[in-house]
Amino acid sequence: MRFFIDALGFRLDRIWPADAPAFAALSGHGTAILLERTVSTAPVALRLYVDDPAAFAGGKGELTAPGGHRITVEDADPALVIPATAHEFVVRRLADSDAWVVGRAGMHYRDLVPDRLGGAIIASHIKIAEAGPVDDMVHYHTVGFQLIFCHRGWVRLVYEDQGPPFVLGAGDCVIQPPEIRHRVLESSAGFEVIEIGVPAEHLTTIDHEMELPTPHVRPDREFQGTKFVLDREAEAVWGPWRIPGFEARETGIGEATRGLAGVQVARRIPGVAVPATRHDGDILFGFVREGSMSLEADGHPRRDLAAGDAFVLPPHLTVGLHAPSDDLEILEVALPARFATAIG
């Protein structure tokens, strides 16, 4: 008992019987343990998550209790690591896979980049079939970048320091800055969203203390260098896109993330030829919102795409976009926000 109190900083909560203690209940570091004097057990492994491992227990990463139990010390808030991108040409067609899995808060997820480019990014197509409240709690994500783009239906959300709950409709999007507290409140039937996260593996933490909405409204607040953005399709200003034959709407996400990531929605200009292109960015993800087209990349067979399909174009790969329908609309997410496009 003294080892757990003195060396590991646990506190004693209960001990009994008083005249000859045989049981002791202790707690600390989010863990509760029960010590029983008369029981002989094989050594167990206990992992403790602490705020400052270097200052905890003399900086030792592993300790052994008098009973032989092994204690491993981990950082409760490790530094975010974004793996180097493992570039590949990816096409993920909705018609080829109906692999939806039930994820957080009962929502259904479809993986749009199965290999996740070596862990650099996760792209999910998420849907909720029935209208009504969503079984969610106030939470936050330890991420570098996260986009929520409403594809179908609507959802009601609330965010820390961003005012009262609001409705995100089809074509609207938000970026969730690192560790901003938020909650999904309710959705329409058939709600669908595209969610992009960097890196692919990141922590979601429930905040049991904060209540939303918060009393202060601070739209210019920065969360680890990123501002919250709510972009409305109804307020879009359309201009030239990086590829001829399209026009695009700028969401302002590139500026809000200081160039970390950019998000645009491009739509077809009928009758204008579309040339082959290549880019020099790191990650370029596309999702077909409406219409159809074909992609023909050097060294790869031609792939037909329709609404609900996704693709990733690696840098320096020449890709032709063929037979675009007049109603073609593409969501494009780029990391970094600024990169060059070569024509032909």
pLDDT score recorded for residue 80: 86
pLDDT score recorded for residue 220: 95
Tally the residues of the chain.
Answer: 344
Q: List domains and CATH numbers for the chain.
A: 2-75 (3.10.180.10), 105-221 (2.60.120.10), 235-343 (2.60.120.10)
Amino acid at 104: R
Mean pLDDT by 10 residues, the chain (344 residues): 94 93 94 88 90 91 92 88 94 85 81 96 92 93 96 97 98 97 95 96 92 96 97 96 97 97 98 96 98 97 97 98 97 98 94
The Cα–Cα gap between 152 and 193 comes to 7
Tokens of 2: 């003294």
pLDDT score recorded for residue 98: 66
Rounded to whole angstroms, the maximal C-alpha distance in the chain is 91
The Cα–Cα gap between 283 and 87 comes to 8
Torsion of CA 307, 310, 314, 319, to 10 degrees: -20
- Number of C-beta neighbours around residue 150 at 10 A: 23
| CA–CA distances in Å: residue 341 to residues 229, 275, 277, 330 | 26, 11, 7, 17
Tokens of 341: 């496009």
Global pTM reads 0.85
224 in Cβ contact with 215 (< 8 Å) = no
Tokens of 173: 């999007």
